[in-house]
Amino acid sequence: MKTKMSVFAAGILFCCFSACASVPEKTAPENVPKETAASPNIVFVEKIQSALESGDIDRAIRLFDTEMPESLRNDVDLEILKASLLLSADRTEEASAVANRLLQSDPSNQDVLELSAEIAIASGNKQSQTTIINQLLKADPNNATANIIQGNQQALKKKYKLALKNYQRALISEPDNQDALFGYAQMCYYTNDINTSRETFNRLLQENPENSLAWQYLGKLAAEDENYKAATEYIQKAIELEPERYDFYIDLGQYMRNRGQFAEAEKAWSKAIEIDPTYFLGYTYRAGLYDEQNRIKEALKDYHKIIETNPKYYFAYEEIGILEFHEQNWQVARQAFLKAESIRSSSAYQMMIMITYMKEKKLLDAKNYAQKCMKTMNRESLDYKIMRLLHDQGPINAENAIIKDLDKETDKNKRGKMMFYFAMYYQLKGMDKIANEYFAKITQMQTPLFFEYRLAEWALLQN
């Protein structure tokens, strides 16, 4: 909106300035000294232009209210500019009043209709927005403003191909429209048309080298090719233009991490957190980095910040449970797994909860919890059989049956997970040699995708 408004305002000011500066020869007074002051109209337009160039929208609006010459008060272009400025200043009701007044005089004025559509979006008036967009598209199916608005709506719904078509139509009527170029390039990125996306972002940057988001997406495109050095250079250009934008530092951290520059990655994510300490994503990336570096206390601190800022993010509870289990903080680990299980039910979480009770010698609590869980489990499943084994602490024939089931299990990750809980059964019984044999089998697995793998590694290191 700001890009469009600034271009739109510049166009209006150019028209107004030209009109104010033009004086028909036949009406020009004779013998006027060269030093005669400029007309009030020109002075007013110059002041508006100066305010906009300095980015002072409030001053520009005040000029309309305090210094606008009577001869310009009914100028439609200037009234549209005023409404645009009011909208940019979040004074939507005042902007709407100006636009409605203009529409009463000329209901088919395309510029006013386009502005009214933007006002309807800002005020959340979906019915008015739909009516105006339909009116614009009826007059011109390729109307840029209407198609950009529809494209943005489709993009939010993740209907990227439909959004792409909207932006394409917008570019038919306005080939250099920066919002349409950005939307088109972004949708090409999401629909995996990488070359067209890159070409369009570069074209946009030719129009406006200060478009920080275009630089950001060039970074994403470079990262798609695993060219993290180029990706870093692109995102750094974006940061130069917007040094306080949160997501730029998230991207920078990812590129630095992929380049093996872990200290720089940490620095980037820490900057993102500094910009907005209430958003969880920066903590997520930094916690993962700390976790990889075995900086357990720092990782735990960040994981706790994640659940503070995003209480429904089950993965953080899982990580807290894993790390607190490693630290032998059984009660804290149990609370984390209980919370994770309440968000995303899992027999693995249930078994971890039961084991923490057993680690604390709270055998009755462990049995009661296991009985509750087993009521909803498939009695033929390996999960149920191991939960029953933990609950009953045997017998030998149950152990043998599970060994056979583990050998039959074709899902590698499922087999690895269940081996861990089978190993924990032996560890809890004090049979460390057998437990370690299973822990060792788990650690020999390639590309494990289950959290119990780390616990198996730690269990071996502790022995």
Span 383-415, pLDDT tens digits: 999 999 999 998 999 999 999 999 999 999 999
pLDDT reported for residue 300? 96
Give 402 or 20, the one with higher predicted confidence: 402
Q: Is the pLDDT of residue 269 over 70?
A: yes
Amino acid identity for residue 220 in this structure:
K
Q: How far apart are CA 251 and CA 228, in angstroms?
A: 11
Q: Tell me: the pLDDT tens digits for 101-131?
A: 998 888 888 889 989 999 998 988 888 889 9
Mean pLDDT of 235-245: 98
Return the minimum-mean-pLDDT range out of 29-38, 86-95, 236-245.
Answer: 29-38
Mean pLDDT of 421-429: 96
Provide the terminal-to-terminal Cα distance of the chain, rounded to the nearest Å: 62
Q: What is the CA angle 286-243-232, rounded to 5?
A: 60
Q: Report CA torsion sign: 293, 297, 300, 302.
A: negative
Q: How far apart are CA 446 and CA 435, in angstroms?
A: 20
pLDDT reported for residue 28? 41
Q: Is the pLDDT of residue 17 over 50?
A: no
pLDDT reported for residue 124? 86
Residue spans of alpha helices (H) in 73-125? 76-88, 92-105, 110-123
pLDDT reported for residue 35? 42
CA distances from 64 to 75, 76, 78, 97 (A): 12, 13, 9, 15
- With 0-12 CB in 10 A as exposed, 13-18 as middle and 19+ as buried, what is 427? buried
Asked whether the bond before 209 is cis by omega within 30 degrees of 0, the reply is no
Q: Is the pLDDT of residue 424 over 60?
A: yes
Q: What is the mean pLDDT of the chain?
A: 90
Ordered structural domains, the chain, with CATH: 1-21+40-139 (1.25.40.10), 157-206 (no CATH)
Q: Tell me: the pLDDT tens digits for 323-352?
A: 999 999 999 999 999 999 999 999 999 999
- pTM listed for this prediction: 0.80
Buried/exposed code over 290-302 (b: 16+ C-beta within 10 A; e: otherwise)? bbeeeeeebbbeb
Residue 107 phi, psi dihedral angles, 5° rounding: -65, -20
Q: Is the pLDDT of residue 41 over 90?
A: no
Nearest-CA neighbor of 355 among 422, 280, 303? 422
Q: What secondary structure letter does DSSP report for 194?
A: H
pLDDT reported for residue 38? 64
pLDDT reported for residue 23? 38
Mean pLDDT of 222-235: 97
pLDDT reported for residue 48? 87
Q: How far apart are CA 143 and CA 155, in angstroms?
A: 18
Q: Is the pLDDT of residue 19 over 70?
A: no
Instruction: Mention every residue, 6+ apart, whose C-beta is less than 8 A from residue 34.
Output: none
Mean pLDDT of 57-63: 91
In percent, the amount of the chain with pLDDT more than 90 equals 74
pLDDT reported for residue 4? 47
Q: Is the pLDDT of residue 20 over 60?
A: no
pLDDT reported for residue 125? 87
Q: Is the pLDDT of residue 18 over 70?
A: no
Q: Tell me: the pLDDT tens digits for 279-297?
A: 999 999 999 999 999 999 9
Q: What secondary structure letter does DSSP report for 327?
A: T
